């Protein structure tokens, strides 16, 4: 089976498993797990922030950022297809009691002028806008990359209007590798950044939220109330340390495989491959028949993909699919559609 549903399906490497078995641990709710602390320091240093917090998932990291940056009744500006709004069960409203204000874009790229049009003034009737959320790479836009200037421009816009700015950088290292810039250059403009260890980097569990010391101290309280205090989490953090030390540069291979998939799928009748400004590890294809039907046929042919719209399918490359797997997937795609 060739699993192209997501990079979340990646399994830990042998080196991760060894590090997990050997990890020194303590009770992290008391701040006593040395491996978690090491991972948090590593993450903060890597992205150039004062502090970091290890959390069980990207969703928890994002929602903690909203919870910590806002007060109930505030407004959160967010791209209309961003994960934090589209795929997190209404957590902005449900957990933080804040109101999301989705801003539609054609391609995942928010701009200051789109934000100007969405921002309302200090009238008594309106909620207070207090947070802007940005996503890089942008999942539903097909892994679209936001550049350093773009990130700086969005954060500057937020700060000029009195908003904080959070980055959902679940795949920030994919963006950094695609742009050939350090991840910290993409992270620095923001007040907080969440990134995932358990996607392309291959760790079994975990994400980090980074930010200023007082912000992270408050987020640590929020993590506890959400049930994210993890005790001897060093066994997980150990895999995360290996992920950050060994798995970042190889993302380039995933991007090459996605480019290959995109090129070859473009030749398959019945499919249109969505073009990208810069390819990372995703390919979005539009199908001339219902996506759910195509997904089922592919499943029978041993290729797993996800439908992300009525006639839209997402394929994601990762360390557990090779170039040959990608070529085989294209063949099976063509056969399934021809049948």
Give residues in contact with ligand TLP (CB under 6 A).
6, 8, 57-59, 62, 83, 87, 135, 139, 168, 170, 196, 198, 207
Which residue lies nearer to ligand TLP by CB, 59 or 130? 59
190: left (phi over 0), alpha (psi -120 to 50) or beta: beta
Q: Report in angstroms how near the CB of residue 24 gets to ligand TLP at its nearest.
A: 25
Which residue lies nearer to ligand TLP by CB, 119 or 143? 143
Distance CA 98, CA 274 (A): 34
3-state secondary structure of 273: strand
Q: Report in angstroms how near the CB of residue 93 gets to ligand TLP at its nearest.
A: 17
Distance CA 196, CA 76 (A): 22
- At residue 80, what are phi and psi to the nearest 5 degrees? -65, -20
> Which among 2, 5, 34, 17 is positioned nearest to 234, based on CA atoms?
34
CB 243 within 8 A of CB 208: no
Q: Report in angstroms how near the CB of residue 198 gets to ligand TLP at its nearest.
A: 6
What are the percentages of helix, strand and coil residues in the chain, rounded to 5? 45, 20, 40
Q: Report in angstroms how near the CB of residue 88 gets to ligand TLP at its nearest.
A: 7
Which residue lies nearer to ligand TLP by CB, 70 or 281? 281
Which residue lies nearer to ligand TLP by CB, 119 or 314? 314
* Residue in the shown chain whose Cβ atom is closest to ligand TLP: 58
Q: Report in angstroms how near the CB of residue 267 gets to ligand TLP at its nearest.
A: 26
Which residue lies nearer to ligand TLP by CB, 75 or 88? 88
């Amino acid at each position: 089976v060739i699993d192209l549903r997501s990079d979340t399906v990646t399994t830990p490497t042998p080196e991760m498993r060894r590090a997990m078995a050997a990890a020194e641990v303590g009770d992290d709710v008391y701040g006593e797990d040395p491996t978690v602390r090491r991972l948090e320091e590593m993450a903060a240093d890597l992205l150039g922030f004062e502090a970091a917090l290890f959390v069980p998932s990207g969703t928890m990291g994002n929602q903690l950022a909203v919870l910590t940056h806002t007060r109930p009744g505030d407004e959160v500006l967010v791209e209309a297809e961003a994960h934090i709004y589209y795929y997190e069960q209404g957590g902005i409203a449900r957990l933080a009691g804040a109101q999301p204000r989705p801003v539609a874009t054609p391609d995942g790229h928010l701009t200051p002028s789109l934000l100007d049009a969405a921002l309302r003034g200090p009238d008594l009737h309106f909620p207070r806008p207090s947070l802007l959320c940005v996503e890089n790479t942008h999942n539903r836009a097909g892994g679209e990359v936001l550049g350093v200037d773009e990130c700086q421009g969005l954060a500057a816009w937020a700060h000029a209007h009195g908003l904080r700015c959070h980055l959902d950088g679940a795949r920030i290292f994919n963006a950094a590798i695609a742009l050939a810039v350090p991840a910290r250059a993409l992270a620095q403009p923001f007040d907080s950044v969440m990134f995932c260890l358990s996607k392309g980097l291959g760790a079994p569990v975990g994400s980090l939220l980074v930010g200023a010391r007082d912000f992270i101290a408050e987020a640590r309280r929020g993590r506890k109330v959400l049930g994210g205090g993890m005790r001897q989490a060093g066994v997980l953090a150990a895999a995360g340390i290996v992920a950050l030390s060994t798995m970042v540069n190889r993302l380039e291979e995933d991007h090459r495989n996605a480019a290959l998939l995109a090129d070859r799928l473009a030749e398959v009748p019945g499919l249109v491959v969505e073009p990208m400004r810069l390819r990372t590890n995703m390919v979005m294809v539009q199908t001339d028949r219902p996506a759910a039907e195509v997904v089922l046929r592919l499943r029978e042919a041993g290729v797993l993909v996800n439908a992300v719209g009525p006639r839209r399918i997402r394929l994601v490359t990762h360390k557990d699919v090779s170039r040959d797997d990608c070529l085989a997937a294209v063949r099976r795609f063509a056969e399934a559609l021809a049948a």
